[in-house]
Chains A and B, each alone.
Chain A
Amino acid sequence: MLKTFSLGGVHPAENKISAGKKIEVLPTPAQVSVPISQHIGAPSTPVVKKGDSVKVGQLIAKSSGFVSANIHSPVSGTVFKIDNVLDASGYKRPAIIIKVDGDDEWDESIDRSPELKKDIDLSPEEIIKKVGEAGIVGLGGATFPSHVKLSVPPGKKCDVLILNGVECEPYLTSDHQLMMEKGEEIMVGAKILMKALKVDKCIIGIENNKPDAIEHMNKLAQEYEGITVQPLKVQYPQGGEKQLIDACIGRQVPSGKLPIEVGAVVQNVGTTFAVYEAVQKNKPLFERVVTVTGKSVKSPGNFLARVGTPINDLIEAAGGLPEDTGKIIGGGPMMGKALVSTDVPVTKGSSGVLIMPDEMAHRKQAQPCIRCSKCVSVCPMGLSPYLLMTLSEKGIWDRTEEEQVMDCIECGSCSFTCPSNRPLLDYIRLGKGTVGQIIRSRNK
């Protein structure tokens, strides 16, 4: 019996249409708009101004706090302006717009040779510093700055590193393809992270619907001491940090605490690859693999896109926007967010672009709750979504807090499973936002 997490979960249709498609390098666009807020935490501070010429990999916005991240130029060209641009948040927010000059001149310090570099020269502190400088954030979608995760707080001890190769979101295949093509680099990346965290054990969790990746990674892992591959039963949201820890090592992270509380640190395989590139090749994070997929998309695939590229370029590369398009989602179908425009730029957190045909794109009419408690049984955090929704709807914030709304990971399993099509997660998010504000103002 394969391992999985112990509480709740759903199994949506996998629809991994773009699986096995080789990673294609997307041509550099004519212009990129790089949002200065691509991560959780404080937006970065731009260090370039209008008219400056920049090279690929040059720092253009620096981290403005502990929980923040550097941003590097994804292209070579001139800074056209710093302006508000519509991004995946649905609002216009500041971004650095760069006109591309076509030379694609990289910063000299970046090692562009394809050879694998196995020896790790840096000390743990230097690795963490390097990861911070390279602006690496969690590429699974949460975009939490990685150097913060790697800095184990005093008094806490980490004994295991877990790599997230689960990719539990339906449709998405970017991590899968990355493991197939850059497996060796991920292994070295894992070694780097293990050195930074001073642990000798690393588990790579991969869901059973990717047997080729499991086999490939398993073969590679033989040569790397301490790294094992853990095949997992297909269950959404296994890629959630707390769920993955539960599935791999059977430890439960207490409510309101971070994974380090149980001695684990989780990193996405994409992030691990970025760490390898940053530490061994001195290459900051300015491009990532993005899946472009959908049932009516002509040629769905996995593309290596520079940050700031308009989503439109990705869609064109995948054969253009199908006529029956009803919705374009940034990310996967479960946790992704509908985009209002195809000009929205790719950011560090863009794992995929999902194009939904019109017939699948609409919500069904919400009906009254029939108390079937399906949402309770699928909630991976053990909450009562039906109750949280009602409490948020009525604005009873103290009860909402008591019902532990802050534990919600916003996986959307409740809304997915609800036979009455109730907008459970919409209201729970509202409750989480409001209660979060109340808690913050109380702690001030």
Chain B
Amino acid sequence: MNVVLITIITLSALGALAAVILYFVAQKFKVYEDPRIDQVEEVLPAANCGGCGYPGCRAFAEAMVSSDDISNLYCPVGGAEVMSKAAEIVGKAVAEAAPQVAVVRCNGTCENRPRTNKYEGAESCTIAATLYGGETGCSYGCLGLGECVDACNFDAMYMDPVTGLPVVIEENCVACGACVEACPKDIIELRNIGPKSRRIYVSCVNKDRGGPARKACSVACIGCGKCEQVCAFDAITIKDNLAYIDYEKCKLCRKCVEVCPTDAIHEINFPVRKPKPAAPKKPAESTEKNAPEVKGNDKPEEK
């Protein structure tokens, strides 16, 4: 009987002592984690793609909660919807960011850009890029080995076997920027999706002068400046013989598309132009007449 009693008392005393120690230790080493981090993480897409610039969604949630100014934080996968939910949780104002999509700025298909040599090295764009300019006369364009496709975690890209160029599947693209990082030639760019998914962009990154550029690829931007002249919104700038359309300023008037002598400017998701089939032809004719003039304009720059 006595033994039972002693056992119970000793064990209870030990238990109480341990409880007291544990209580103080717990107080001492308490880690306070803002419950909002969990809440924010809950709303995030859990893609862990790194598109926001943080290593995973948890880190992004922590940044959302800890930073005072969250205007530079943006989850490209979740977009405005997720961002507004997350901002509501942390009670801060979120910057409006237009949804974006990856755009491949090269149209050097087998037809447009004749092959001048053959690459047999390792199947990696980065390796090919360190060795030389590529299988064609254009040393700026797509190498066609698909490193961007490998980098995509959202099944939003594939290599078109006919053209040899990567294609972005708009519905799947979350604009995380993994392909932009992967491309050693800096061909892929994130651009605003635009109203009704309509976009206009220069599908070329060739910085050679007009002559060599055109010789290497029939749809290369030759830097003639016609689009820059016709643009009423100052959206187009020419630098290093290459036109660039600022998607923030572009009002999608499509005038530049019409005047481009090499069809380097692409319009996406616009309805087919039906009323005046002659209209786009005319400028095309005039550009042909102007072609020598373009060259003439080009020459003084050579020096």
Contacts and interface: CB of A to CB of B under 8 A. Distances in A.
Given A90-B132, A429-B130, A430-B127, A81 B120 contact: no
Contact of B121 (A82, A92, A340, A426): A426
A433 interface: yes
B120 A92 contact: no
Interface in B94-136: 116-117, 120-122, 124, 126-127, 130-133
Contacts of B132: 89-91, 338, 340
A340 B302 contact: no
What secondary structure prevails in chain B residues at the interface with A?
loop
Main secondary structure of the interface of A (DSSP, over half): mixed
B162 to A, nearest CB: 24
Contact of B133 (A83, A91, A430): A91
Interface string A69-92: 000000000000111101001111
Contacts, number: 48
A427 B122 contact: yes
Nearest to B132: A90
A430 B145 CA distance: 15
Interface string B223-258: 000000000000000000000000000000000000
Interface string A411-435: 0000000000001001101100100
Interface in B146-187: none
Contacts of A374: none
Contacts of A83: 302
B303 interface: yes
Contact of B124 (A81, A82, A340, A430): A430
Nearest to B126: A430
B206 to A, nearest CB: 11
B184 to A, nearest CB: 10
Contacts of B124: 426-427, 430
A340 B121 CA distance: 14
Nearest to A88: B132
Given A83-B302, A427-B122, A92 B127 contact: no
A82 B124 CA distance: 33
Nearest to B124: A430
A198 interface: no
A92 B208 contact: yes
A362 interface: yes
B139 interface: yes
Interface in B197-222: 208, 212
A90 B133 contact: yes
B126 A92 contact: no
B133 A423 contact: no
Contacts of A429: 127, 130
A337 interface: yes
A340 B116 contact: yes
Given A86-B133, A433-B130, 12 more contacts: A81-B303, A84-B208, A90-B131, A92-B133, A92-B139, A338-B132, A341-B116, A362-B120, A423-B121, A426-B122, A429-B127, A430-B126
